[in-house]
Chains A and B, each alone.
Chain A
Amino acid sequence: MPIIVYRFLVLGITALAVLAPIALVVYQSFLTAPFFDRAARLSLSAYSFVFAEEDFWQALWTTAAIAGGMAAIAVPLGALLAFLMVRTDVPGRQYLEPLILIPIFVSAVVIAFGYVVAVGPVGIFSTLAKDVLGFVPWNLYSLFSLIAIAGLTHVPHVYLYSAAALRGLGTDLEEAARVSGANPLQVALNVSLPMIGPAILFAGVLVFFLGFELFGLPLVLGDPQDVLVLSTYLFKLTNKLGVPSYQLMAVAVVVIIAITAPLVFMQRLLLRQAQRYVSVRGKGLKTQALRLGPWRWVAFGTIVFWLFITVVVPLTGITLRSFVVSWGQGVNLLDVLTFDHYRELLDYPNVVRGIVNTLGIGVIGGAVSVACYTAIALAVHRWNSGWTRLVDYLVMVPRAMPGLVAGLALLWVFLFVAFLSPLRSTMVSIWLAYSIVWLAYGMRLVSGTLLQVGPELEEAARVSGAGDLRVKRDVTVPLIKYGMLASWLLVFLIFVREYSTGIYLLGPGTEVIGSLLVSLWGTGAIDLVSALSVVNVMMIGVGLAVAVRLGVRLHG
């Protein structure tokens, strides 16, 4: 096969997989009934219905407030954290690094369940506080708490980009500032952080964007107070007319995409700019840790406190709940200890299947996805053509679609594309949905590895008479083997954590822990939810431990 055929073949398949679901959603939004209903007609009525809804505007406003609030919290904290971790002598940095990234890899629904049990109105920590103070000083279900939790759990995203940018810069300017008498905080605010401004801005846009995708936290924490965001509004629409109203849901999705798509492309621009900015780096970076003196313990304490709030509190809550029959005001936890919930997991065949499927999608599905991402990356690798830019954009498109929606769109595709329909109630449908939703992420991992391969070896092979495809197979792929392995591990973590994409695809045979958690939470089977959450966290813990042990960098 000539390489050009391979390239266009891959391009075609990617385009189809990415664009078909979106096209279906957009088409559905202009109909009066589900697209498979014979009574469906073209109309704008769904738009006028949604735009006339008070709830919609409320949800839109709340979403914007949450996204903005999140960015306002996560950006300064994440940037400061990066400064402390990369530039100063905060104690125990090598141990803190993997811990800091935990919030990225733990499912948001698990974190949210944990908060309800730990610091809800009668949570474990709340009752403690009430005993000591006489009142509970926080209200978990307020919009403010939701923003604070969302912000704190997204600090690592900002940290990752800021730390990477800082590592790319020498410390000479900072040392100069220090010598001239600036204190560490002044160095951070006036020298280091401004230098990585573009990276911080990029991370800010990313967090703002993630705010529009937020689903697990508002689903659980917004429920009692009826705090609606766009993604939970979508859920509410299901029932508004009594019968499922796909056209209304499609409109909500189109609105979400209309907001997120520009953000995604803005990120792209910023990323390019950030890289250009960092390119002033010199060779032979000399880095000198900034001495904080006694303040290093204050910094250490602050980081530990943040970890306590965002990781320890929710995970303790959910773990504790999984071992007790009931909890709350007036309950002595020692009286209600039990292992039953874990035993009960085995009574539910769908839960057992869910656990097996989750491992399967992580290990096997992850490997196949990495193979596909590599195939796409190889197709555009060393291709001097305008088409590569198209692929770049194509890969970003699914990013604009929240997982929940991508899952729904794929359900439709699987239902009505004849040759796909036998695969609908198999894990193939889940795998395809996951692979598409995480396309941009996976591509970044794989292309990052490919960038490290110099052209010399490939050229040598070509000179010795190997064809283009043979070069890729026998030279390029073996060279990026370890990078692919690392990508596999990271994709495993993401797939095991994923919860929203599988919700609409959930059925017998396609259970995964994430979507089961949401579904079981809906039915109120909290015993199972807590035990299953702990199982999920343990899987991720093992994956993380392996990654740290193998020295995999936990980011692309």
Chain B
Amino acid sequence: MANKPIGIEVSLAVAEAVKLCDTDVVAAYPITPQTHIVEHLSELVADGHLDAAYIPVESEHSAMSSCIGSSAAGARTFTATSSQGLALMNEMIYIAPVLRTPIVLAVANRALSAPINIWNDHSDIMSVRDAGWIAVFAENGQEALDLTIMSFRIGEHPEVRLPVSMNIDGFTLSHFIEPILIPEKSQVDAFLPPFETDIKLDLKNPMSMGLLGSPETYTEVKKATDDILLGSQKIIEQVFAEFEKVFGRKYNPVETYRHEDAETIILTMGSISETAMTAVDEMREKGRKVGLVRIRLWRPLPVKQLQAALGKAETVAVVDRHVVMGVPEGPVALEVKSLLYGTPNAPKVCNFILGLGGRDVRRADFKYIAERAQALAKDGQNRFEIVGVYE
């Protein structure tokens, strides 16, 4: 099995990864397009393939609340959600990192209402970008499975102990059947030790978790959480390296494609990056110096790697899948501008909003934004565009 990929729906592969990790507790509530993950998990539990408690909670708010309780009790804990579900979890999303509960959350990214829309963009996860979670974005099915396994390893690391969101594009990735290598259980066991923590609800060593933070301590708690999240990048890179040793697949916080001599770099996250690579190839064939940079690790933001990957270009065309209302800039562009600001010969940054609410993102879109970025960069004024709006 281990040396031969099988055709499997990406959602099911994520569930298989959760099984291979010997997850103890799954608490989840159905929402499209995440449902196939938890449906398969409940099958695995029902058939005795996964020895876990499956808590069929009555809302996403209770899903994350139960996950916090479960993780605080020392159990390896998983849940999945999308869109409105993540929005309903929001209050809990901010609490989990500070309680140091290394929950793994698969988000099948979907647009936020209104209007209600079940299709893909990144507005759900962007609404919780400041909460203190580690966040990774998968490009394809193999990566979704691999990152799920790595998310447990990273989150549960003694120097991290933070929750991790593993993002897959709803439908355009979650519902695709792809050739995926399902690892051997022995490989996963070699890579992922059992979850051990001394920060837990333990009768033998009782501790109080979730105490009130007064003005004298609140700032320190926030600083400590931020320090841990920022410091986690080192561990994440170590885990990527360990993963390569066991499984032979190499992962980086930031991936690049034909970017070395690129005048224009397209910056993406998630599954549209594969389409973007094809578009880059086609543009290269026509002599255009276009490259691609992809953010895999969104939180903590790999500032140095992004500076290095983008710094030599003339123009960066940042693709955002979410509109920050009231600001002429998407969330990724805002951060890319910030990290390039003040660097020598900083590239000009243009920002394109693509693929909202499931609007198809095509090769032609990447060709358009590569050209448009060069034009906008010269203009110096308006460098922001929501692409393909029917007027």
Q: Do A and B originate from a single complex?
A: no
Q: Which residues on B are within 8 Å of A, measured CB to CB? A: none
